[in-house]
Amino acid sequence: MFKRYVAIGDSTTEGLDDPDGNGGYRGWADRLAGHVAAAYPGLEYANLAVRGRMTREILDEQFPAALGLEPDLVTAVAGMNDLLRPRFDARAIVADIEHMHAAFIDAGATVATFTLPAPGPGMPLARLISPRVERFNRALRASARRTGACVLDLGAMPSASDPRLWSADKLHANSAGHERISRGLAWVLDLPGADEAWREPLPPVPRTPWLEAVTADLAWARTHLVPWIGRRVRGESSGDGLVAKRPVPLPVSVD
């Protein structure tokens, strides 16, 4: 039985791109909190995640506060923002993640996380990112074996890379993707009523004509890649000036 759930991480844990209908974002962590609350009424939930945060920033900024909240369930997901930087050391990044996981587990919490899905066929940077994702996922799986953290292995599931589960920026899940992740985590945590329906692939679709695919890639670069590079050049982050959307544990209403 879980009484207090705390989520830490970056934009995926914050909930981009899963609109909540009120100008903010919902996301898999909010959805998972709903699944947990349905099984264990009275659950309190806090979400300390902030978009743009790298693993070391999560360790320094969110981890101490999360530990102080004394949760009995934690999701600690990080690594994507590190993966997109010029220098990427999978083992060093996972060492920071393992430090957090081990501390939560030593404090009596159940910890859940997930590996990163392989870049889908519509991801223009797939050739660059894929080897990094594979190294990170191998290190994270090995870490979980050492700590006992629960892992939803999205990296081993081809269906998790389906472009129809991802938003226009190709880095964040859309609402359907967030819901699948939440149900996958509910299954990994063995929540009452959880099943494996989230694994089922979407129906096949015709292959995109090459000209249409190239046009889409150029539009993606103009809309998403160029602004991201601009922020890097200026030393800015998408999370600058933002704070956690749910910094204190509050009761979860089951809708």
- Spell out the alpha helix ranges (H) of 1-125: 11-14, 27-39, 55-57, 63-68, 80-83, 90-106
130 φψ region: left (φ > 0), alpha (ψ -120 to 50), beta (else): alpha
Contacts of 237 (CB under 8 A, 6+ apart): 51, 52, 53, 231
Measure CA 226 to chain center: 23
Please name each of the domains of the chain with its CATH number. Answer: 4-251 (3.40.50.1110)
Along the 255 residues of the chain, how does pLDDT read in single tens digits? 899 999 999 999 999 989 999 999 999 999 999 999 999 999 999 999 999 999 999 999 999 999 999 999 999 999 999 988 888 999 999 999 999 999 999 999 999 999 999 876 556 566 678 899 999 999 999 999 999 999 999 999 988 989 899 887 768 899 999 999 999 999 999 999 999 999 999 888 767 665 655 566 555 556 655 565 566 567 656 766 789 999 999 999 876
Number of residues that this document lists for the chain:
255
- Spell out the alpha helix ranges (H) of 84-194: 90-106, 126-147, 175-188
